Structure 1
Amino acid sequence: MQETQVVLVLWFIGIIAEAMTGALAAGKQKMDLFGVVIVGCATAIGGGTLRDIMLGNYPLIWVENWHYLVAIIVASLLTVVIAPLMHYLAKLFLTIDALGLAVFSVIGTQKTLLLGFSPPVAIVMGVITGVFGGVIRDILCNQMPLIFRKELYGIVSIVTACCYVILQTTGTAPWISLGVSLFLGFSLRMLAIRFCWSVPTFHYSADEK
């Protein structure tokens, strides 16, 4: 029970942080307040919503627990007010975002396994939960999604989800699987930020001979 509460708290912190990053992205595109809220919501719960729709898992968490949706909307609008301070909180948001990536990836994987799906499907759904909120955010803001531009983000989600699946399928205690996977995902993301690790890019031009 305590393990579930810890995960829920981390997840809630993660969706609030993601809502605020989505709101900031909307602000950079000079969207109105409605746009800010929509992008904030899409960033915070887009990945989890897409996962549950694909798995046929209803009701969606924000439909069943509407107060989560209210918290996301409030966080998005609050970002508009405190936007001038965000420059000073950049490192904090990077840290929270790294934690959120690990938490979302593990929760997506865990939930899929509990629904009886295979480990490969669980890994895919963990990645969708972890990164697709950001993909939806960038598409709404008319930008190439961040995870497709060298950023070591999607790979971190894959490694985190794989770690959790491997530990669970080998009979490791759930709390150990959770702790190790979260630590691995968070550490890998922070190291990638610190040392600018990235994925090799592919450049193709039809004009090249």
Structure 2
Amino acid sequence: MIDLYYWPTPNGHKITLFLEEAGLPYTLKPVDIGKGDQFQADFLAFSPNNKMPAIVDRAPADGGAPLSVFESGAILLYLADKTGRFFGADVRQKVEVDQWLMWQMAGLGPMTGQYGHFTTYAPERIDYAVDRYTREVQRLLGVLDRRLAGRAFIAGDDYTIADMAAYPWINPYPTPLDLEPYPEVRRWHAAIAARPATVRAYALAKQVNPDAGKPLTEEQRKQLFGR
């Protein structure tokens, strides 16, 4: 059994996408980041960067004590290794998956996150920051669009953790980017959105956080950006 410490953010969605696709049994442990749950000592004990998601595997492959993993990319790699799924069939495909997973972790996620912060959450508009991160996300979308040309998914014909990592970071904020210039991204994104496991994974968002999409309160801002 996997304990998933989760809140419905793009990084949180990555892990529910995997778990729903793989059919692994898991228990959802909500971490309300607007209330500061991520700073609680019991959570910090296994997620020291005070970020979610994190998991605790109660039945690791070595048969030993429960094993905890933090950082969404590391969790995807761990789960892919545990199940032998969604990481490629041979060494060459694994290299493709691995490098595109790192691309998402180092580029698409952080840059889109900064775009979202300065267009949605910043207390005042800073034109330089909005322009800087808008252009960088557009550049990254162009990289992804070119990569997907002639491929069903990022690493080829098979759906992998590279796709699960990148998918939640396509337009996750109320101020969306125009995807018209990226036809391959739109085609790929629609195909993943239609997967039954994706539908199930995203249905968890409203169950866990019925207030998703509402403006942040001052207390939520303090917990998210002031600590």
Q: Identify whether the pair has TM-score above 0.5, normalized to the shorter chain.
A: no
The structure richer in strand per residue is: 2
TM-score between both structures, scaled by the size of structure 1: 0.29
